[in-house]
Amino acid sequence: MVRLLLKFSVLPMLLTLTPVVAGEPPQLERHELMEGVRDAAKPIAKMSKGELEFDAAVVMASFQTWSEAAKVFGDMFPQGSETGYDTEARETIWSDREGFNAKLTSFDEAVDAAIAANPLDLEGLNAAAGPVFKACKACHEGYRVEDED
């Protein structure tokens, strides 16, 4: 639902995460959380490419979405949720939880730094978002099943 609305509006308030539905399997919870993270990345990527006008409020809303996600993502990998529901989580999350947590912390820190930087133009945005995207990639490389991206 939130994703659908996003197609028609970039109002910052709509960028907040879908509330987690009680009783939903963790595989689906984290999948949905990551979709929210990706949706928040979209306007930023478009601004960087010049396809969307820079908008500081939209940028900050995306950063907030990432920050909220970073706070809860680590709790979405309980024992027993290693497989099922087409999860893209790699077994390394369970065999090397410390390494996974470290990637999550670097992501959280990059997001905090981006929020503190409070970018007011495209140059500032690129400088702030670059390290965040690197942190996404660094975690996916070790802890997400490889796929097309």
**Interface residue list for ligand HEC (CB under 6 A):** 27, 30-31, 34-35, 37-38, 41, 66, 87-89, 103-104, 107, 132, 135-136, 139-140, 143-144
Residue 57 CB, nearest approach to ligand HEC (Å): 18
**How many whole angstroms separate alpha carbon 25 and alpha carbon 102?**
24
The residue (of 15 and 87) whose beta carbon lies closer to ligand HEC is 87
Instruction: Name which of 97, 84, 71 is nearest 28 in CA terms.
Output: 84
Question: How many angstroms from the chain centroid is the CA of residue 3?
Answer: 14
Least distance in angstroms from the C-beta of 104 to ligand HEC: 4
Q: How far is the CB of 122 from ligand HEC (least distance, A)?
A: 18
Task: Look at the chain and count its residues.
Answer: 149
Q: Which is nearer to ligand HEC, 55 or 85 (CB)?
A: 85
> Which lies closer to ligand HEC via its Cβ, residue 31 or residue 46?
31
Least Å from the CB of residue 96 to ligand HEC: 12
Count Cβ atoms below 10 Å from residue 132 Cβ, excluding itself.
24
Cβ at position 73, least distance to ligand HEC in Å: 6
d(CA 108, CA 114): 10
Distance CA 42, CA 18 (A): 17
Nearer to ligand HEC, 10 or 41 (CB): 41
User: Hey, what are 30's tokens?
Assistant: 């984290």
Residue linked to tokens 């077994």: 91
Nearer to ligand HEC, 11 or 130 (CB): 130
Q: What is the amino acid identity at position 117?
A: A
